[in-house]
Amino acid sequence: MRVLVQRVSRAAVTVDGRTTGEIGGGLLLLVGVEEADGAADIEWLVRKISQLRVFNDEAGVMNRSLQDCGGEALAVSQFTLYASVKKGNRPSYSRAARGEISQPMFERFVAELSAALGKPVPTGVFGADMQVSLVNDGPVTIWLDSRNPE
């Protein structure tokens, strides 16, 4: 699984002009799933995201996690995180899991992250044409890949 993490002062996702999820300060999570992903990928990402120290402490140092500061998370399904542009100019999405695999994985990721944070994690609408708005705070943007945990 891949997640693009953005620290935000606010973020929202809308579908057909209707807001389906929004948060104040916290993390916007763009989440991609590939066919080989499983429970271990979800567990690693949930632990990493909930404990990622990217929020400032009293000294202005990024030393607090989402759990520490009580921030929110907004998760948006994003199959294009598996785009390949190796050949030609039109991206291939063949590594992205099909909906029947990725939707349950995404929903499980959201449920486990909600449990870890002790609060609901709003989302967009899986497979819909979504508009995501955000104010990136910092900016802080971090790429997480459960298959390449550096």
Active site residue 79: yes
Q: Report in angstroms the alpha-carbon separations of 98 from 15, 56, 88, 101, 105.
A: 21, 38, 23, 6, 11
Active site residue 78: yes
Three-point CA angle 145, 125, 3, nearest 5°: 10
Active site residue 67: no
Q: Which of 6, 55, 78, 106 is catalytic?
A: 78
Q: Which of 79, 106, 109, 123 is catalytic?
A: 79
Rounded to the nearest 10 degrees, the angle between the axes of helix 99-117 and helix 39-51 is: 40
Rounded to whole angstroms, how far apart are CA atoms 63 and 117?
Answer: 17
Q: Which of 20, 51, 55, 80 is catalytic?
A: 80
Residue 136 corresponds to which amino acid? Answer: N
Active site residues: 78-80
